[in-house]
Amino acid sequence: MQVKEYKPLIVAFCCNWCSYAGADLAGNNRLNYPADVKIIRVPCSCRVNPMFILRAFQRGADGVILCGCHPGDCHYTSGNYFTRRRMAMLFSMLDFLGIERERTRVEWVSAAEGAKFAATMNDFVTQVAALGENKRLEDLRCKK
Amino acid sequence: MKFSYFPGCTLKNKAKDLDRYAIRSAEALGISLEEIENWQCCGGVFTTARDEIATKLSSVRILKAAKDKEQDLITVCSACHNVVKQTNNAMQNDAEFSSKVNRYMASEGGYDGSTTVYHYLEMLRDIVGFDALREKVVKPLSGKKIAAYYGCLLLRPGSVMKMDDPENPTIMEDMIRAMGAEPVIYGNRNECCGGYVVMESPELAKKKSGDVIRNAKAQGADMIITACPLCKYNLMKNGADVPVVYFTELLAEALGVKEDTNE
Amino acid sequence: MNKKYLREDIIRMSGVNPKKCMRCGKCSGTCPAYDEMEYHPHQFVSMVESGDIEPLLESDSLYRCLTCFACVERCPRGVEPAKLIEAVRLTAIRRQGANRLTPNDIPAMLDDEIPQQALVSAFRKYTK
Amino acid sequence: MQRIGVFVCWCGSNIAGTVDVVAVAEALKKEPGVVFSTDYQYMCSQAGQDLIVSSVKEHNLTGLVICSCSPRMHEATFRKTAQVAGLNPYMVEIANIREQCSWVHKDMPIGTEKAIILGKAAVAKVNLNAPLTPGESPVTKRALVIGGGIAGIQTALDIADAGFPVDIVEKKPTIGGKMAQLDKTFPTLDCAACILTPKMVDVAQHENIRIFSYSEVTDVKGFIGNFDVTIKKNARFVNEDICTGCGDCVTKCPQKKVPNEFNLGMDNRSAIYIPFAQAVPKVATIDPAHCTMLKTGKCGVCSKVCKANAIDYTQKDEFITERYGAIVVATGFDPISMDKFDEFAYNQSKDVITSLEFERLTNAAGPTAGKLLRPSDGEHPHKIVFVQCVGSRCDSCAEKGKEYCSKICCMYTAKHAMLTRDKYPDTEVYVFYIDVRTPGKNFDEFYRRAVEEYDVHYIKGMVGKITPEGKKLMVRASDLLDGKQLNIDADLVVLATAIEPDKSARSLATMLTASMDTNDFFTEAHPKLRPVESPTAGVFLSGTCQGPKDIPETVSQAGAAASKVIGLLAKDKLKGNPCVASSDELMCNGCSSCEKVCPYGAITYENKEFRMPDRTTRVRRVASVNPAVCQGCGCCTVTCPSGAMDLRGFMNEQIMAEVDAICK
């Protein structure tokens, strides 16, 4: 019997100015990373409500990564500092809920860092894949 | 007001004047200095190496003795002050060092770096106050042009000693003014006299002390005061043709308590 | 001793990062013992940085530093050369039989006035 | 319910090579709301756009999903297409199936599967899209320039020449700034006053420029196009409109022992003064800290001698409020204090001076009438030591100086050394340097000339200690190349002090909500591509308030800032970004959290009357977003505890719909 290869589902939130452009640059340079990563564009990493990340886990995502401009380089001056603090809080709550820390990550990727974007995604997908499916946080209402 | 007091080895021997006038003057200013019991020599110089532990234990014990009496610690000798203060700083800020020290001292109880260390001059400025000092002066030293010689150890490293601006200090000059004399500002007041290297190279000490004396005199000094026995020795030995005295001696004179201390 | 190990040991002991040096030479410009030294403060920094430490260990310059902290105070980059010199000196005198000063040397150096402080300090600096 | 059309682009083989575009179009047909789906080779081509327009009409589409390249590439194109087709441009969403799919995945089935999911996410979002209209705001066609140095002067002249009115606010009694204090300028050695003062006159005579001298900005409200600025005109106790600048009062004033700040305290001025002969405006100012009349009520000499009757001891500070479309910051620099560097004996000897003091000492209008004389005894110095990098390039932990290179010192020191040798060939000149940094047109040639033709001794090494002794300054320094410690008995020492932003810059930045770096220099909107704009819309940067720079660079930046201002003022109306935050007043609990995190000050609170269901009214404090100021980062939406704040175009619902679509 052939076992179907496990493919994790990864949601990546990318800020419009740095990380989304970094992802575009990875594309321009044809730098491969797994198709498991699906990007959602937001104006700034600080637009990402912790609720969105919880929602993704609820709906079956195995990992969520949040990418923004490097600290100090935020297009909106200070947005990513808020992101950093909020995510520190959220991640400690995820610890509390029993969602492995390795399923989440905040990464700073500039518009010039296509290679870093691809490398980060490769690394993150490998990391999440090693943990297997995320079963901890499910919305019972979504269960069929 | 009571303080713990650490005189150090030289003040019990070659620099008795620095010690006795310090105690007498403090009394005249309403401050009593209680000498720490069974103290050991601080070691003379602070070893900056972070892995030197045993050589700093005597200083930690001095600091701990003051803490046990719940008193602030006062020092007079520049070298002692430098060693004790730098050791205290290491106890406060170098966690690896302080944990090693506390392991050595486990049987006598630990020390956490919480003692406040004042140099006698800081006590005059921050606790007595130079204005109050001025009022207590009975024999103003008017007409005297006095050069304060800081040397290196009182002020440096500035980030640890925090006594005064290490390049443009005013604490001794303010004291001189409070005593009614005129301070002489000269560039070499915070340059080294040659220090302990006199043992290794008397020529170097001669040159460096000579620079200090020449500069002070060129700027008009007719007396040099210091807080350090080794500075005094180096200056005196290397051709000082103006008097070099301890600041406490001059203070005792101004406060009118110099004469009756002939014990 | 292995060159790299020696360098790391001295850096760890002193807590100094010689890479911060920008080669301005202010330490040597201000050093009161400069003329007595074969290797000068800025050379201590650059030679430790490059691992060229043996010549420093052999040099009398180690015993000319006054530990007056002028270089520490005035260095624009916060390098603290005196701490580096101290670490090299300790490395030298910690070697067996390498004490610079022995009690037998003392009587010849004494005069009536010399303060205890000078003897104690010299022993700290020159002897292990 | 939307009627959505899906358009899958092949991008030649760029997409179609790895993604089965037909399958994508087919799969998306089944998504809720989708009524039409197709594919085409080049959707961005005219034919492709025509296809979109005709499909909108044919199928009555209300929303569009374009599966194509990155929205950073063609989002604007397709929004225009939607507009042509009669749709609101914000009813378009792009699924990025090229950069983020076909180009990074090699396997056709995998690429196709991902493209479908990205398409589904875009469809889910469009289902919740609402038409958005960018707000419009009028532009007040007047600019404010804060700071009247060469940067402010050049910016103001350029804007005024384009026909727009400009106000300059200068805190000193005259414009001119630091450049007015300089003697000669490198590398051409033309005299600073000769090139600056005509420009000052141009400013004074320009019909479009008003100067508020001896004034400062105390409050800024509003936003790009409409800033309401309060300017405080300090009382100068002289009626500016009447004063003829004859100077009779200055000569007759009995209080003549006031340190003259224009000459950096190296000589004295009177209590009523005109900073220098070519001052603009050329009117007198009374220094209230030193005027006997103002302090004791007894004197009044100036009032008696003034033929124009311009003296007014009762004058009060005056506040003016004016509206501006754009603000240019040109607050300039100051040399840092030398208090923490007394190893160089600046506080111990008058003969240790800063470079700016040296400029005054060699300036024909300076305290020595241009003769280079020692400040202590007025004698001619024969040996001069210049020390570079004093306070520049210091490690941050040293806490004394500045971490950056001050950029101008190498050149002006070369200039000082060269001019000294030129005028006084009997003078020995030493320059101690760490590195000589002379990038710039004709700069290195200039420095080499100082060495080769003028015999200036350049020594690599730093001065460690200066000891005044008698009439001499004993300079101890290292010569790193010769391996020597030097002891030079100098007559004069000149310190090339680091420069720092003017102290007023920090409070101004707070008023403008413009950002600063750790050194208090204003930050640019982009360090390379938008160097004269601040991240705050409508605020522009000119000169050294943004970073150390020399005169040519300052003037170029001033012109650049002016061109940006002109570009803004030339518009009648500003179209905003419609993707801005908005608050649901009924949900807002008035907590101010959003106001605190907004980097632009776009959120304000107001008390509003609400009609309650029982027909009573209640006043509640609620947030309101100014759409002209909001830049749409969305930080407030996450901070809002009651969920009242949302971001148009990136609504919570929309992003969660995308999440759901991806995770389905």
CA of residue A77 relative to chain centroid, distance = 22
* Mean predicted confidence (pLDDT) in C77-100: 91
Among the partner-chain residues B168, B218, B219, the one whose CB lies closest to the CB of D347 is B168
Considering only CA atoms, which of D324, D335, D102 is closest in space to residue D226?
D324
| Dist. CA B60–CA B208, nearest whole Å | 32
**Do D333-500 and D581-648 come out as alike in CATH topology?**
no
* Residues recorded for chain D: 664
| Dist. CA D74–CA A96, nearest whole Å | 43
* Residues recorded for chain C: 128
Helices D409-423 and D355-362: crossing angle, nearest 10°?
30
E-strand ranges in chain B read 2-6, 32-35, 73-75, 117-119, 145-149, 182-184, 223-226, 244-246
In chain C, which residues have their Cβ closer than 8 Å to the Cβ of D434? 22-25
pLDDT band at A143 (very low <50, low <70, confident <90, very high): low
Residue with tokens 């632009």: D600
Average pLDDT, chain A: 89
Handedness of CA C103, C104, C106, C107 (dihedral sign): positive
List the 5-64 stretch of A: residues with Cβ below 8 A of D.
Answer: 9, 11, 16, 20-21, 23-24, 26-28, 30-33, 35, 38-44, 46-52, 55-56, 59-61
Give B193→chain D minimum CA distance, Å: 15
Any contact of C with B, at least 3 CB pairs below 8 A?
yes
pLDDT band at A73 (very low <50, low <70, confident <90, very high): confident
Print burial letters for D327-363: b (CB count within 10 Å at least 16), e (below 16).
bbbbbbbbbbebebbbbbbbebbebbbbbbbbbbbbb
Please give the biggest Cα pair distance in chain C.
47
* Mean predicted confidence (pLDDT) in B219-228: 96
Show the CA angle centred on residue D341, arms to residues D343 and B129, nearest 5°.
90
Q: Which residues of C touch D (CB under 8 A)?
A: 20, 22-31, 34-35, 40, 42, 70, 73-78
Looking only at the bridges linking them, the beta strands covering D457-460 and D463-469 are: unpaired
In chain B, which residues have their Cβ closer than 8 Å to the Cβ of C120? 9, 41, 43-44
**Omega before residue B166 within 30° of 0, cis:** no
**Omega before residue D187 within 30° of 0, cis:** yes
Cβ–Cβ gap C73/B13 under 8 Å = no
Cβ–Cβ gap C42/D393 under 8 Å = no
Predicted pLDDT at A1: 47
The yes/no answer on whether domain D581-648 falls in CATH 1.10.10.60 is no
| Dist. CA D53–CA D51, nearest whole Å | 6
Give D186-189 contacts, CB < 8 A, sequence gap 24+. Answer: D186/D411, D186/D412, D186/D414, D186/D415, D186/D443, D186/D446, D186/D550, D187/D411, D187/D415, D187/D440, D187/D441, D187/D442, D187/D443, D187/D445, D187/D446, D188/D442, D189/D415, D189/D419
Q: How far apart are the first and last CA of chain D?
A: 21
Looking only at the bridges linking them, the beta strands covering D92-96 and D63-68 are: parallel
Give B131→chain C minimum CA distance, Å: 31
| Dist. CA D636–CA B103, nearest whole Å | 52
Cβ–Cβ gap C22/D401 under 8 Å = no
Burial class (CB in 10 A: 0-12, 13-18, 19+), D296: exposed
What is the CATH code for D333-500? 3.50.50.60
Considering only CA atoms, which of D486, D496, D492, D491 is closest in space to residue D465?
D486
Residue A100: both structure tokens together = 């492995």
Give the chain D residue nearest B216 (alpha carbons). D469
Enclosing H/E stretch for C96: none
Give C51→chain B minimum CA distance, Å: 19
Q: Is any Cβ of chain B less than 8 angstroms from the Cβ of C21?
A: no
Predicted pLDDT at B260: 60
Interface probe, candidates D593, D598, D663, D664, chain A, greatest A C-beta count within 10 A: D663
In chain C, which residues have their Cβ closer than 8 Å to the Cβ of B246? none
Whether residue A28 contacts residue A114, with contact meaning beta carbons closer than 8 Å, is answered with yes
Other CB atoms within 10 A of residue D233 CB = 18
Among the partner-chain residues C36, C68, C72, the one whose CB lies closest to the CB of B192 is C68
Predicted pLDDT at A141: 64
Write phi, then psi, for B64 (nearest 5 degrees): -70, -40
Other CB atoms within 10 A of residue B209 CB = 28
Looking only at the bridges linking them, the beta strands covering D484-490 and D472-479 are: antiparallel
Predicted pLDDT at C69: 95
**Residues of chain D where predicted confidence (pLDDT) is lower than 70:** 396-399
Q: Which residue type occupies C40?
A: H
Superfamily of domain D134-234+317-331+532-576: FAD/NAD(P)-binding domain (3.50.50.60)
In the 8-state DSSP scheme, what is residue D533?
A: B
Cβ–Cβ gap C113/B14 under 8 Å = yes
Residue with tokens 């005249």: B28
Give A98→chain D minimum CA distance, Å: 20
Q: What is the DSSP string of D223-273?
A: ETTEEEEEEEE---SB-TTT-----HHHHH-S---EE-GGGTTSSEE-SEE
Residue A86 neighbours by CB under 8 Å, 6+ apart:
A46, A50, D638
Show the CA angle centred on residue D363, arms to residues D361 and D366, nearest 5°.
65
* Chain B neighbours, 3+ Cβ pairs < 8 A: C, D
pLDDT at C67 over 60: yes
Domain covering B2-120, topology: Glutathione S-transferase Yfyf (Class Pi); Chain A, domain 2 (1.20.1050)
Residue D59: both structure tokens together = 């199928």
Q: What is the pLDDT of residues A104-125, one digit of tens each?
A: 999 999 888 899 999 999 999 9
Query: Whole-model pTM?
Result: 0.81
Domain spans in chain B, listed from the N-terminal domain onward:
2-120, 138-256
| Dist. CA D318–CA D291, nearest whole Å | 20
Cβ–Cβ gap D635/A79 under 8 Å = yes
Residue with tokens 């010769």: D482
Predicted pLDDT at D576: 81
**Omega before residue D275 within 30° of 0, cis:** no
Residue with tokens 């530990």: C67
Predicted pLDDT at D613: 87
Residue D76 neighbours by CB under 8 Å, 6+ apart:
none
Predicted pLDDT at B193: 94
Helices C3-14 and C81-93: crossing angle, nearest 10°?
120
C98 or D356, which is more confident: D356
E-strand ranges in D368-427 read 383-390
Predicted pLDDT at D41: 95
Among the partner-chain residues B50, B158, B196, the one whose CB lies closest to the CB of C121 is B196
Domain spans in chain D, listed from the N-terminal domain onward:
4-126, 134-234+317-331+532-576, 236-315, 333-500, 581-648
In whole angstroms, how far apart are CA D310 and each of D243, D253, D351, D469?
5, 15, 41, 50
Whether residue A110 contacts residue A18, with contact meaning beta carbons closer than 8 Å, is answered with yes
* Mean predicted confidence (pLDDT) in B174-186: 96
Other CB atoms within 10 A of residue D621 CB = 13
Class of the CATH-defined domain B138-256: alpha beta
Helices D652-663 and A50-58: crossing angle, nearest 10°?
30
Three-class SS state of D93:
strand
Interface probe, candidates A13, A17, A46, chain D, greatest D C-beta count within 10 A: A46
Start-end of CATH 1.10.1060.10 domains in chain C: 3-95
Give D421→chain B minimum CA distance, Å: 29
Residue with tokens 């990380």: A19
Class of the CATH-defined domain C3-95: mainly alpha
Q: Which residue type occupies D388?
A: Q
Three-class SS state of D380:
coil
Predicted pLDDT at D575: 84
Among the partner-chain residues D395, D477, D483, the one whose CB lies closest to the CB of C76 is D395
Give D553→chain C minimum CA distance, Å: 27
In whole angstroms, how far apart are CA D466 and each of B170, D380, D642?
18, 20, 65
Residue C83: both structure tokens together = 């701490």
pLDDT band at C106 (very low <50, low <70, confident <90, very high): confident
Residue C21: both structure tokens together = 């040096």
Predicted pLDDT at C1: 56
Domain covering D4-126, topology: Rossmann fold (3.40.50)
Residue A3 neighbours by CB under 8 Å, 6+ apart:
none
Q: What is the pLDDT of residues D505-559, one digit of tens each?
A: 989 988 887 878 889 999 888 778 889 998 788 999 999 999 999 999 999 999 9
Burial class (CB in 10 A: 0-12, 13-18, 19+), D394: buried
| Dist. CA D470–CA A66, nearest whole Å | 68
Residue D574: CA atoms inside 13 Å, Cβ hemisphere, count? Answer: 21
Three-class SS state of D595:
helix
pLDDT at B263 over 50: no
Cβ–Cβ gap C83/B48 under 8 Å = yes
List the 338-377 stretch of D: residues with Cβ below 8 A of C.
Answer: 343
Q: Is any Cβ of chain A less than 8 angstroms from the Cβ of D642?
A: no
For chain A, list the domains and their CATH numbers: 10-142 (3.40.50)
Print burial letters for C62-80: b (CB count within 10 Å at least 16), e (below 16).
bbbbbbbbbbbbbbbbbbb
Handedness of CA B252, B257, B258, B262 (dihedral sign): negative
Give D12→chain A minimum CA distance, Å: 16
